[in-house]
Every structure is written in C-alpha cells, then in structure tokens.
Chain A
Amino acid sequence: MNDIAKLPEPDDRQLIESIKAGHSEAFELLVRRKTSKVYALCYRVIGNAEDAKDISQLVFVKLWENIEKYDASYAFDTWLYRMVTNVAIDFLRSRQSRDNAVNSTLRLVRTSTEAEQNVALQRKEIENVFAEVSSVLSPKQKTIFVMREMEDMQSSEIAKVLGCRESTVRNHLFNARKLMQEQLRIRFPEYSRLWRDA
C-alpha cells in the first residue's frame, strides 16, 4: 500500500498525482469514489442497467488511459463528466443502442408489474414514463436534460462539460421539455394533465 492510500481522505487532485506516479491503488480508490456518480449519469441517459455498467467501466478505462492529459487547473468532475457524456452520447447514437433502449423499456414495464413496495413501484413507473417520452430526444438533448434535472447540475457547468455555450444548453433544455410534454400528451395522457399549466 502506498502513502496516498494511508491518507484519511485524499482529494481528487492528490489521487490523480498519485495515479500519474504509477500507483494503481490510488486509481482504484478514485474508481470507488466516482462509481456512483458515473453510473447514475450513464444509467439515466442510457436507461439500461447492464449497458450503463459497461459504459461506466469503459469510461474508467478511458480515464486511466488519458489521465496524463488531465489539466489540474480544471475541476476533475467536469473533465470526468465530459468523458461520460461523450461515451454515453456515442453509445446512444449507435443503432444498436436504440434497439436496446426499446428493449430496456419493455423490461422496465415487465419488472414494474412485479410485487414491489409502493414507493419503489411509483419510482419505477416514473422511470418508465421518462424512458418512453425521452426516447424522442436526441442523445445530446437527453444528456442535458438528465444532467440538469436529475443530476441537478447548473447550466454553466453543463456548458463546460459539453464544451458549448450556456445559451446552447438552455436551448436544448427548452426543446427537450417541449418534446417531452408532447410525448406525454400522446403516450401518457394521465400524466400530461400535470403539465396543463406549464
């Protein structure tokens, strides 16, 4: 075990310095620390647990391969999120992923009929609704919507992650909301009434 692992709570930058010095334990520590964030974003963008896991692992492998390129003057999470969104958007753009998205929606519908606690059922239903109505969004629109609404990231932060203007992020968000409201009206009229005043 090297020194970095003995520190009570090394910050991201300390970990990265240690990784650059060749300590794989530091990288494992970083993986454990960031897994939940990376996986959550992947899962919400991709909508399929297994694919999200594979994509998350791919992100960490890419992170390890490109760690030398990280510039410590920028926030590490922004750099990491950029990697996640690039990989996830690429995945969504592929035809295969579209098929998987349909399949995953079907799987979610099936699992939601299983006996679960009320809260879990409610949450699963909302996930189903989101999976369906967000299927019309472009990969970028969906990623931005997820980052803003589910990951609670600021528009300025999203713009940094995606390397675009804040106004572009706001445009994507506006269009995503509009498209999703339309889809709700078509596919889930019982939910669309919630948006009557929106």
Chain B
Amino acid sequence: MISCERLRASLQVDDRRPEILEHLRRCDACLRFAVDIDPEVLFRSIGGDGLVPPGGVDLFAADVMRQIELRRKSAGLAHHSPNRLLRWAAAAVIVTGFAVSSAVYREHGVVTNQARQASMRGPLSASQPAALSNRSVVENYASDNATIMEVPVNSDNNDVKVVMIFDQSLPADL
C-alpha cells in the first residue's frame, strides 16, 4: 500500500488511481486530508471491490442456480402442456356444455313455472295453461254500470283492447 507521505505529496483533484483510493478506504487521516483537496473523494472512497452479498458468493450463486433450475422445470412443464388444438377442443366442449345446460335449465324452468301457475289456478287452468294465456277471457261485454278500461292498439282504425272491467252488479266471486 502507498505510504501516507507519498499519497499526500502526489494527490491531485479527480485522482482515480487505484492505489490512492485503496489507501483512502483504509486511512481516515488521509481521507480527511484528501477531501480538502478534492471533496468528491469522500464518496469515491465508498467504492472499491470486496463487496459481497449477505451470506457470501457461494450461497448467492447457489440461490441463482436454484432459481434457474426452477424456471427450467416450469418451462419444461409448459412445453409438455396441451397443444393449441387440444386447448381449443377443450374450450369448445366447455362452451357447448354450458350452452346445452343453460338451454335445458331454461326449458325446465319454464315448465316448472307453468306447472306452478297451473297448480295455483286449479284443475281447469292446469289442463289448458297455454290456451288461457293467449285467448281473451271475455270477448263481449256490455253494461251501463260497468267501468271498462281500454288501451288503444292501433291509432289508425281506432282499434282498442279492453284490459279491465269493473262492474259492481256482478257477483264478488266471479
């Protein structure tokens, strides 16, 4: 290592000679002397070799190789995974299955609802649920005491649809 006297005699601004920096990293007195000449040598003195990661180089290298081995294995698994055609086929099966099951569910749900409504209406409506839902219950009605609610269907020919009849003269249980 260069001596303190030699260093102080030869030190210059922006001095980057390895032997100078090496000395400054070990000698506080010379470092204090050096920063008066070149303040940035303070931070320059932080540098230098000999920094090793916590645990040492052996452990560090072993960790790196382990990570690489893991990635290699996962890459190998990816290589052996189903190919694109197989993936598309699997996706198609899933979509088809979903569509079929949702159609069955919808159909089954309609039947169930209709059955439920039919059972609530009684035996007559249960035997003809579709006919009741599409055909008018009252086709002709005329009464001076009734209030008839009409909704226009076609504004051109004054066609109307009767949606509700209120008639106090009719029996309550009709």
Q: Which residues in A have some Cβ–Cβ distance to B below 8 Å?
A: 24, 27-28, 31-32, 35-36, 39-40, 43-44, 49-50, 52-53, 56-57, 60-61, 64-65, 118-119, 122-123, 126-127, 129-130, 145, 149-152, 177, 191, 194-195, 197-198
Contact across chains for A35 and B52 when beta carbons are under 8 A apart: yes
- Additional 16 contacts, C-beta under 8 A, given A56-B53, A152-B44: A27-B68, A31-B65, A32-B61, A36-B49, A36-B50, A43-B51, A53-B54, A61-B67, A61-B71, A65-B71, A122-B31, A123-B25, A150-B46, A150-B47, A152-B21, A195-B39
- Total contacts A-B at CB 8 Å: 98
B37's nearest neighbour on chain A, judged by CB, is A197
Contact present for B47 and A194 (CB under 8 Å): no
Q: B162 contacts which chain A residues (CB < 8 A)?
A: none
Quote the shortest CB–CB distance from A35 to chain B (angstroms). 5
Partner of B28, one of A122, A129, A195, A197: A122
- CB of B61 within 8 A of CB of A149, answer no
Q: Identify the B interface with A (CB < 8 A).
A: 16, 21, 25-28, 31, 35-36, 39-40, 42-55, 57, 60-61, 63-65, 67-68, 71
Please measure, in the bound complex, the distance between the C-alpha atom of A75 and the C-alpha atom of B61, giving whole angstroms.
23
Q: Is the beta-carbon distance between A44 and B53 smaller than 8 angstroms?
A: no
**Interchain residue pairs A-B with the least CB separation, the first 8:** A150-B47, A40-B51, A53-B53, A194-B39, A60-B64, A195-B39, A31-B61, A39-B53
Interface centre among B45, B51, B63 (most CB of A within 10 A): B51
Give the docked Cα–Cα distance between A60 and B52 (Å): 15
A52 to B54, CA, bound (A): 10
